[in-house]
Structure 1
Amino acid sequence: MAVDWIGYSYAGLVTAGGIMGYLKAGSVMSLVAGLLFGLLAAVGAYLASQQPKNVWVSLGTSGALAAVMGVRFINTLKFMPAGLMTIASVLMLVKIIVGMTKKRPNKAL
Structure 2
Amino acid sequence: MALDWIGFSYAAAIAFGGFMGYKRKGSVMSLMAGLVFGLLSAYGAYNTSNDSKDIKVSLLASGTLAVVMGMRYKKSGKLMPGVMSGLSLLMVFRLLLLLVV
Q: Which TM-score band applies after superposition, normalised by the shorter structure?
A: over 0.9
In the alignment, what sits opposite 1:82? 81
In the alignment, what sits opposite 2:6? 6
Are 2:16 and 1:32 equivalent residues in the alignment?
no
Q: 1:64 is matched by which residue type in structure 2?
A: T
In the alignment, what sits opposite 2:23? 23
Q: How far is the alpha carbon of 1:47 from its aligned partner?
A: 0.5
Q: How far is the alpha carbon of 1:86 from its aligned partner?
A: 0.5
Q: 2:71 is matched by which residue type in structure 1?
A: V
Q: How far is the alpha carbon of 1:12 from its aligned partner?
A: 0.3
Deviation digits for residues 14-37 of structure 1 (CA, Å, limit 9, x no counterpart): 000000000000000000000000
Q: What is the TM-score when the length of structure 1 is the normalising length?
A: 0.91
Q: 1:57 is matched by which residue type in structure 2?
A: V
Greater helix percent: which structure? 2
Q: Whole-Å Cα distance in 2 between the matches of residues 21 and 74 of structure 1? A: 18
* CA RMSD, Structure 1 to Structure 2 (Å): 0.5
Deviation digits for residues 19-78 of structure 1 (CA, Å, limit 9, x no counterpart): 000000000000000000000000000000011111100000000000000000011111
Are 2:53 and 1:48 equivalent residues in the alignment?
no
Higher Rg: 1
In the alignment, what sits opposite 2:64? 64
Q: 2:91 is matched by which residue type in structure 1?
A: M
Q: 2:26 is matched by which residue type in structure 1?
A: G
State the 4+ residue runs in structure 1 displaced beyond 3 angstroms.
Answer: none
Q: What is the TM-score when the length of structure 2 is the normalising length?
A: 0.98
Aligned length: 101
Q: Whole-Å Cα distance in 1 between the matches of residues 60 and 40 of structure 2? A: 9
